[in-house]
Amino acid sequence: MISVVIIGNGNVGTHLYNAFLNVDTIAVTQINSRKLENIPQADITIIAVSDDVIAEISSKIKNSFVVHTSGSVSMSDLKNKTNKGVFYMLQTFSKDKKINFPEVPFCLEAEKESDYQLLEKLAKSLGNNIYPINSEQRKAIHVAAVFVNNFTNNMYKIGNDICNKNNVPFEILQPLIQETAVKIKTLSPEEAQTGPAIRKDKKTIKNHLDLLNKEQQKIYKIITKSIQNGN
Amino acid sequence: MISVVIIGNGNVGTHLYNAFLNVDTIAVTQINSRKLENIPQADITIIAVSDDVIAEISSKIKNSFVVHTSGSVSMSDLKNKTNKGVFYMLQTFSKDKKINFPEVPFCLEAEKESDYQLLEKLAKSLGNNIYPINSEQRKAIHVAAVFVNNFTNNMYKIGNDICNKNNVPFEILQPLIQETAVKIKTLSPEEAQTGPAIRKDKKTIKNHLDLLNKEQQKIYKIITKSIQNGN
């Protein structure tokens, strides 16, 4: 049996709490981050709060092993005086959306090898994709995630705007959007790249620019250049 | 029975030819675009060649109803003296990849209403998603497709580069990539947007920029601005 305390009532904390409740070998307690007076002892204490209060909250915790769940905060930013680690799940957590934990990549880090093994045991109780990731790597993953998630979604947004402006239903782009994502399961991004930029089709590129507003033109030009330069 | 001649041996022409072969109500012939001397008569003649030779090839065709398959060429760029139309399928066609025609959006256009109805009948023999789309709308769709497909793939490329540089396997981003695409089936891009840009989280944005090379920084900044401005 592993005892776990989760501090924080946000999306990550609540999804994790509910998931651990279903695991026989985990005893889990959830604590509001504003009520830190009575934290029970536990094998693993998970701080699932906003990045900017992780240091402060961790400084008030005396439990033996404390981890946070953030992609962009170093392990050393934890200010507890006991052992430290990180339990980062690379997935978007929305309030009402069920998390498919078996598919979630767990990025784990700990100061002590025995703590790492404990975190790994905990992660294995929920998922299958477990990676040892240090703080520097995790920050890089967090930036990469911004590109493939946040920025990709902005590409969808611009596609949607262009459709709206021309009275075309956005749904017409759906099969292409899904195909683009599925393709990357078997091809590298280099292999999967198609279109006027990689073909250096100047005429089509010019025609496209004529159809865009100034902001869209800037983005079109800079990404076209990125595709052509291979960087 | 609808008789169809396909001119062109490229990916689009060959996939279409093979698909029509399986339809009882279609009689299809495929012709090499360099051998235009003996084109049989047909109800619909489909020119499936590179954009820049559509005008020239169409000028040599005397069949009654001629369409092209391009997203970025106007119907009026066809130079046959008979009836004109467009049969554009919004999907990426690769040589070795099977096309799931029932999901492909067919964007149809014709000068004459009776020709449109004939094209619609032809499209319905393969697919379910059929849209009347004029030349202006089609060009807009083609640009939108560049954003959601080509440019999204470049976001994957940059994510991959960041992973490689930090010895992290790209597969770690796969669940997030797939989730990002699936999410857009039920949420609008505005609703689906998350991350430091939309939260105006300046500290995280600064940290991210510090981890990127100059080209990546330019793209990060311009897309962050686009997300924040909502354009």
Q: What is the pLDDT of residue A142?
A: 95
Quote the minimal CA–CA distance from B26 to chain A in Å. 25
Give the tens place of pLDDT for each residue, B94-147. 777 788 999 999 999 999 999 999 999 999 999 999 999 999 999 999 999 999
Residue A91 distance to chain B (closest CA, Å): 6
Q: Write down the mean pLDDT value for chain B.
A: 95
pLDDT, tens only, A117-174: 999 999 999 999 999 999 999 999 999 999 999 999 999 999 999 999 999 999 999 9
ipTM entry:
0.91
User: pLDDT (tens digit, 9 = 90+) per residue, B211-229?
Assistant: 999 999 999 999 999 999 9
Which of the residues B90, B155, B204 would you substitute to probe the A interface, choosing the one with the greatest number of A C-beta atoms within 10 Å? B155
In chain B, which residues have their Cβ closer than 8 Å to the Cβ of A156?
147-148, 152, 184, 189, 192
The CATH code of domain A138-229 reads 1.10.1040.20
User: Which of B91, B129, B144 is the closest to A163 by Cβ?
Assistant: B144
Q: Where in chain A is the domain with CATH 1.10.1040.20?
A: 138-229
- Report the share of chain B in percent with pLDDT over 90: 90
Query: Which of B103, B175, B222 comes nearest A104 by C-beta?
Result: B175
Contact A163 B141 (CB under 8 A): yes
Go through B122-150 and write b for each residue having 16 or more CB atoms within 10 A of its CB, e for each that does not. Answer: bbebbbebbbebbbebbbbbbbbbbbbbb
Give the distance from residue A40's alpha carbon to the nearest chain B alpha carbon, in angstroms: 32
- Between chains, do B141 and A157 touch, taking CB under 8 Å as contact? no
CATH 3.40.50.720 residue window(s) in chain B: 2-133
**How do residues B47-60 score in pLDDT, each as one tens digit?**
999 999 999 999 99
Task: Provide CATH code, domain B2-133.
Answer: 3.40.50.720
Which of chain A's residues have a Cβ under 8 Å away from the Cβ of B175? 90-91, 103-105, 129
pLDDT in tens, A80-125: 999 999 999 998 777 777 889 999 999 999 999 999 999 999 999 9
Q: What's the rounded Cα separation, in Å, for the pair A144 and B167?
A: 13
Q: If residue B215 lies in a helix (H) or strand (E), which one and from where to where?
A: helix B214-229
Q: Which residue of A has its CA nearest to B107?
A: A172
Locate tokens 């554009």: which residue? B88
CA B104 to chain centre: 9
